[in-house]
């Protein structure tokens, strides 16, 4: 408080004892506050302390109204001393002779007088006041107080008038002659009610808000300090935004130096994982040797090039995402023994999405997975044996022979071998580049058949159950794999001539008429002009095998008994095989052109485009599937590629019709062997029991009768 | 998405797989600027692309000062010349819902339906776009604010949702006049901020679960995808003011949604 402007008049004499006694009680909070009056930047530190003081202020505020009539002078004088520098000077012009007058009458005068006095002091101490404003010490600068004084109609609950108020115009503050209070300037205002009003106003402002510890006073101080520090242009128009920013900053402290922001934790973790992608394996210390090794062939294809071409078509992920995928696949190639791999695409899910990589292992690397699968199937057979044993137990209990069920489960169609048919490639999935890759199991024909009947969104978690009717045999990983198989079979296309059949194929008869199932790259492929590729669908061919309705690519007769089935057949009664003769299913052979694809309800199954109509000489031919929305293929010169980005479902113009539940099974026909009768009711049973007892009683009497007769005879 | 931040928006929305090729992007940047000048719009949004069999429609919307006023829809086949779509009459609206199937890509194509008259594809595109827009255009909470005088303004101080808010469906609103707001109980309304919460939120959409919300790009981007209208992607980078939505799809509703959830 050393920079107070010297005022000519000193505070009038007051009863010192009362002042000091009260002062001592209330001095404490201000003493705590004063040492903290430091630079403006420490505003936030001061504020918590000011919060502690604010209740004090508000208490004082409430006290002031009650005590005002009792000891106005002492209170105000002490406030004046403890408070800001204006207060002592406020007493200057007001002689002590004024009696405390009833509050309500003088409130109007007080307000005006406060204003007047403040105006005068402003004229005198203009510069010092501005210095004051720069500090965040909660001394009330004149500016926020002034408008408040002018508009405090509700504060005085007695409903007093406050007289004409000055407009809130900064320019007016410097010329009290324009104030327009001529009739008040002649009177000598009373100090105590005036100061009382100011104290009340300030106390009200310092009330803390209900929901937080901030008071309007502190907020306004912060806001104005900010404005004066930053000096934005046209501050009135940005006032609201500054208001919000100040509020936001109050409640959201800047980053702590010691603790991380808890909300951003998962983001930072992901960033760390992705950073790991960017580090080269083996460290960089080996230098030139590593460079030579890496320049050699890597199984990971040039994903960036593919992404570039697809971008020309308007398809695909952004380039940095593609690069991350490339690094993730490189990581996969280092972890697994991979011969070739390809980025198959992205399947969107509800909670997470899947990035799918199509991979072919080196020879002889996949046997571990197959053994696990065989164990599972053996477990299934054991369950069937248990069913038969229970049937035998029942036989012992009842006299009737329970007829053996005639129904046999339909034979399980064996899944295709690895590296053939639908299981030609292995698929790895991950949710985001940087996360570990998970291998998907091979697909079984039953899964494909069921996948055709249901339509479900993927959740993003591989172990989620697939709840559907007909019940899907597997969890989401199996469903995902089945959909990938279907999509691959339907939409993997290449320009005509890129692949050709190798000439060393065996006769078609040996393979059961299923057609060739392998192909190789044509070294003489010259590339088809882009315009021709776009014009006719005959220039594109499928290079994956079509999946038969059975669920496999090569047909297998399910009625052929394998060795295991023959063993079981000896135990069971040989049931009739039924009149079914399974016909061999045939699908379109490999390398069929797309023009032969079936239409979807008068809709062409494929749409072709040139990527850029403005420069056809450099554009790329793009083919889009209408049957599987999201499947795209491009071809340009000798290069081509397929990709799928979508939800993983087929398009059907009709709505999805779920499979109906199976028809109700037939009951046993009533015949001589089995006749259906209703159970006897309770009355009938009791009647029967009574009749039986009577009959029994009758026979006993007869026996007794005979015994008695015999007894009598013997007695005689 | 805003035409001013088209490139960044396309980059952020690319997680769904469909975007625009570089030549289209370039032509969009110039042509949308000219559209804004010619039609005197306050903001021009690139709404998306409707895939047709022969050609694709590129749709843009023009907004006036009041963000919630009815928007003008423009279409283009080549991203260079834009024309206003003719609004459909009411009888057409009823008829259009019957005609199903993919768009052809030719605005003068007439659909034939046995019972009804021929339906112009141009009107069908318009109506479809209106339907989709009403159903699934989204705005994050706080991006627009309503003044007491009526018009809705873009909030220049919108700094983005925080991470915890960004994962909740209640932080996103439908970008249209509110329909369900009046049906809220008084208790719920008491918690709303009338300057910010004046639109329907996504929480109560039927069927429940028709929105997929996920984080992409290593938790730095929140993406909402509509499962009812597949192809609608909304993206927002939390704690920044980048947000927007784009529709790239065939324009057909996914009627099988209840089976698929």
Q: What is the pLDDT of residues B29-79, one digit of tens each?
A: 999 999 989 888 888 999 998 888 888 889 898 888 888 888 888 888 888
Best mutation target among A313, A457, A605 (most B Cβ atoms within 10 Å) is A457
Residue of B nearest to A324 (CA): B217
Contact status of A238 with chain B (Cβ, < 8 Å): no
Tell me if A653 and B11 make a contact (CB, 8 A cut-off).
no
> Is residue A368 in some structural domain?
yes
Q: Do residues B261 and B211 make contact, with C-beta atoms less than 8 angstroms apart?
A: no
Long-range residue pairs from B87-94, CB within 8 A, at least 24 positions apart, any chain: B87/B126, B88/B123, B88/B124, B88/B126, B88/B127, B92/B119, B92/B123, B92/B127, B93/B127
Q: Do residues A23 and A81 make contact, with C-beta atoms less than 8 angstroms apart?
A: yes
How many structural domains comprise chain A?
Answer: 1
Residue A564's pLDDT is 45
Helices (H), A140-190: 142-150, 182-185
A216 Cβ neighbours under 8 A, 6+ residues apart: A205, A206, A207, A209
CA B121, chain centre distance (Å): 20
Residue A254's pLDDT is 62
Q: What is the mean pLDDT of chain B?
A: 83
Tell me which H or E stretch contains A520: strand A520-521
Query: Which member of B18, B159, B212 has the closest CB to residue A350?
Result: B212
* Chain B residues touching A312 at Cβ < 8 A: 21-22
* Chain B residues touching A630 at Cβ < 8 A: 17
Residue A281's pLDDT is 53
The length of chain B is 261
What angle separates helix A191-205 from helix A43-67, to the nearest 10 degrees? 130
Residue B91 has pLDDT above 80, yes or no: no
What is the per-residue burial (b if ≥16 Cβ within 10 Å, else e) of A676-686? Answer: eeeeeeeeeee
pLDDT 10s digits, A381-430: 444 444 344 444 444 455 677 777 777 777 777 777 767 777 888 899 99
* Torsion region of B148: left, alpha or beta (phi above 0 gives left; psi -120 to 50 gives alpha): alpha
Residue B67's pLDDT is 81
Mean pLDDT computed over B90-96:
66
* Chain B residues touching A248 at Cβ < 8 A: 159
Q: How far apart are CA A623 and CA A633, in angstroms?
A: 5
A261 vs chain B: nearest CA distance in angstroms?
11
Both tokens of A344, joined, read 């198959």
Tell me if A603 and B102 make a contact (CB, 8 A cut-off).
yes
Q: Do residues B43 and B65 make contact, with C-beta atoms less than 8 angstroms apart?
A: no
> Is residue A545 in some structural domain?
yes
Q: How far apart are CA A586 and CA A572, in angstroms?
A: 33
Residue A522's pLDDT is 80
B86 vs chain A: nearest CA distance in angstroms?
27
> Is residue A666 in some structural domain?
no
Low-confidence ranges of chain A (pLDDT < 50): 1-107, 126-127, 129-161, 163-167, 172-186, 282-288, 290, 370-396, 505-515, 562-580, 716
pLDDT 10s digits, B180-224: 777 778 887 777 777 788 888 888 887 888 899 998 887 788 999
Q: How far apart are CA A406 and CA A79, in angstroms?
A: 103
Mean pLDDT computed over B16-27:
87
Q: Do residues A447 and A453 make contact, with C-beta atoms less than 8 angstroms apart?
A: no
Residue A480's pLDDT is 94
Residue A486's pLDDT is 92
The length of chain A is 716
Tell me if A656 and B225 make a contact (CB, 8 A cut-off).
no
Both tokens of A237, joined, read 């128009």
Strand partners, A499: A521
Tell me if A263 and B19 make a contact (CB, 8 A cut-off).
no
Contact status of B15 with chain A (Cβ, < 8 Å): yes
Q: How far apart are CA A180 and CA A24, in angstroms?
A: 41
> Is residue A628 in some structural domain?
yes
Q: How far apart are CA B74 and CA B65, in angstroms?
A: 18
Query: End-to-end alpha-carbon separation of chain B, Å?
Result: 28
Query: Which member of B21, B162, B219 has the closest CB to residue A314?
Result: B21
Residue A482's pLDDT is 93
Query: Which member of A248, A351, A455 has the closest CB to residue B214?
Result: A351
CA B193, chain centre distance (Å): 24
Q: What value of ipTM does the predicted structure carry?
A: 0.90
> Is residue A520 in some structural domain?
yes
* Chain A residues touching B15 at Cβ < 8 A: 317-318, 321, 353
Domain around A331: 303-372+408-502+516-556+586-646
Contact status of A600 with chain B (Cβ, < 8 Å): no
Contact status of A557 with chain B (Cβ, < 8 Å): no
Q: Do residues B103 and B53 make contact, with C-beta atoms less than 8 angstroms apart?
A: yes
> Is residue A334 in some structural domain?
yes
> Is residue A272 in some structural domain?
no
Residue A348's pLDDT is 92
């Amino acid at each position: 408080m050393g920079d107070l402007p010297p005022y000519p008049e000193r505070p009038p004499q007051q009863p010192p004892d009362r002042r000091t006694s009260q002062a001592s009680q209330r001095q404490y909070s201000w003493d705590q506050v004063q040492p903290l009056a430091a630079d403006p930047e420490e505003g936030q530190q001061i504020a918590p302390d000011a919060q502690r003081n604010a209740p004090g202020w508000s208490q004082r505020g409430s006290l002031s109204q009650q005590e005002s009539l009792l000891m106005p002078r002492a209170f105000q004088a002490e406030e004046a001393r403890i408070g800001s520098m204006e207060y002592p000077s406020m007493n200057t012009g007001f002689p002590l002779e004024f009696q405390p007058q009833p509050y309500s009458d003088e409130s109007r005068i007080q307000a005006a007088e406060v204003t007047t006095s403040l105006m005068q002091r402003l004229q005198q101490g203009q510069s010092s006041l501005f210095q004051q404003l720069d500090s965040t010490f909660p001394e009330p600068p004149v500016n926020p107080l002034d408008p408040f004084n002018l508009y405090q109609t509700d504060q005085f609950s007695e409903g007093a008038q406050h007289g004409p108020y000055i407009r809130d115009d900064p320019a007016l503050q410097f010329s009290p002659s324009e104030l327009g209070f001529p009739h008040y300037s002649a009177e000598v205002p009373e100090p105590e009610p005036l100061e009382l009003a100011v104290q009340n106003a300030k106390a009200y402002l310092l009330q803390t808000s209900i929901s937080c510890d901030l008071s309007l006073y502190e907020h306004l101080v912060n806001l104005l300090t900010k404005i004066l520090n930053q000096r934005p242009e046209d501050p009135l128009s940005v006032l609201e935004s500054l208001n919000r920013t100040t509020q936001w900053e109050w409640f959201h402290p800047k980053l702590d130096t010691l603790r991380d922001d808890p909300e951003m934790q998962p983001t930072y973790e992901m960033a760390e994982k992705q950073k790991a992608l960017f580090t080269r394996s083996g460290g960089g210390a080996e230098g030139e040797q590593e460079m030579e090794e890496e320049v050699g062939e890597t199984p990971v294809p040039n994903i960036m090039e593919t992404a570039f071409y697809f971008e020309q078509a308007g398809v695909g992920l952004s380039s940095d995402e593609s690069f991350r995928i490339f690094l993730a696949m490189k990581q996969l190639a280092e972890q697994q023994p991979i011969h070739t791999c390809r980025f198959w695409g992205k399947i969107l899910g509800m909670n997470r999405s899947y990035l799918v990589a199509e991979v072919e292992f080196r020879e002889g690397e996949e046997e571990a997975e197959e053994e696990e699968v065989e164990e599972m199937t053996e477990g299934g057979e054991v369950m069937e044996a248990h069913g038969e044993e229970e049937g035998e137990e029942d036989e012992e209990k009842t006299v009737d022979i329970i007829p053996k069920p005639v129904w046999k489960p339909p034979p399980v169609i064996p899944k295709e071998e690895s590296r053939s048919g639908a299981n030609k490639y292995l698929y790895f999935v991950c949710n985001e580049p940087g996360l570990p890759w998970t291998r998907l199991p091979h697909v079984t024909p039953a899964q494909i058949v069921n996948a055709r009947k249901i339509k479900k969104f993927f959740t993003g978690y591989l172990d989620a159950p697939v709840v559907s009717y007909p019940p899907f045999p597997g969890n989401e990983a199996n469903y995902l794999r089945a959909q990938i198989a279907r999509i691959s079979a339907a939409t993997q296309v290449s320009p005509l001539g890129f692949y050709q059949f190798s000439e060393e194929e065996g006769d078609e008869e040996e393979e059961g008429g299923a057609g060739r199932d392998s192909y190789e790259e044509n070294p003489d492929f010259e590339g088809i002009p882009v315009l021709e590729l776009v014009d006719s669908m005959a220039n594109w061919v499928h290079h994956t095998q079509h999946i038969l309705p059975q669920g496999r690519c090569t047909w297998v007769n399910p009625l052929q008994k394998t060795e295991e089935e023959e063993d079981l057949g000896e135990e069971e009664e040989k049931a009739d095989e039924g009149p079914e003769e399974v016909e061999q299913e045939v699908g379109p052979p490999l390398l069929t052109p797309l023009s032969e694809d079936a239409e979807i309800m008068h809709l062409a199954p494929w749409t072709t485009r040139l990527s850029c109509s403005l420069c056809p000489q450099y554009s790329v031919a793009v083919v889009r599937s209408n049957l599987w929305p999201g499947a795209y293929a491009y071809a340009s010169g000798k290069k081509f590629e397929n990709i799928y980005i979508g939800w993983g479902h087929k398009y059907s113009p009709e709505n999805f019709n779920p499979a109906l539940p199976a028809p109700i099974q037939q009951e046993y026909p009533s015949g001589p062997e089995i006749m259906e009768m209703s159970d006897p009711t309770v009355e009938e049973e009791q009647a029967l029991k009574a009749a039986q007892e009577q009959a029994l009683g009758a026979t006993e009497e007869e026996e007794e009768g005979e015994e008695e007769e015999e007894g009598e005879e013997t007695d005689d | 998405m805003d035409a001013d931040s088209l490139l960044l928006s396309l980059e952020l929305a690319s997680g769904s797989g469909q975007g625009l090729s570089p030549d289209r992007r370039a032509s969009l940047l110039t042509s949308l600027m000219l559209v804004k000048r010619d039609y005197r719009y306050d903001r021009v949004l690139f709404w998306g692309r409707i895939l047709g069999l022969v050609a694709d429609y590129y749709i843009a919307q023009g907004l006036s000062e009041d963000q919630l006023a009815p928007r003008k829809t423009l279409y283009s086949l080549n991203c260079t010349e834009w024309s206003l779509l003719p609004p459909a009459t009411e009888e057409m609206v009823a008829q259009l819902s019957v005609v199903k199937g993919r768009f052809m890509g030719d605005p003068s194509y007439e659909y034939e339906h046995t019972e009804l008259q021929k339906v112009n594809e141009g009107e069908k595109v318009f109506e479809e776009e209106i339907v989709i827009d009403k159903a699934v255009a989204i705005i994050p909470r706080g991006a627009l604010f309503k003044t007491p005088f009526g018009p809705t303004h873009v909030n220049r101080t919108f700094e983005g949702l925080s991470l915890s808010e960004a994962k909740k469906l209640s932080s996103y609103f439908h970008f249209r006049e509110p329909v369900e707001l009046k049906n809220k109980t008084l208790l719920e309304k008491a918690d709303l901020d009338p300057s910010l919460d004046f639109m329907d939120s996504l929480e109560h959409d039927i069927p429940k679960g028709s929105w997929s919300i996920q984080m992409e790009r290593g938790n730095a981007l929140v993406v909402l995808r509509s499962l009812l209208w597949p192809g609608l992607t909304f993206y927002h980078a939390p704690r920044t003011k980048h947000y927007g939505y784009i529709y790239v799809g065939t324009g057909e509703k996914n009627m099988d949604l209840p089976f698929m959830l």
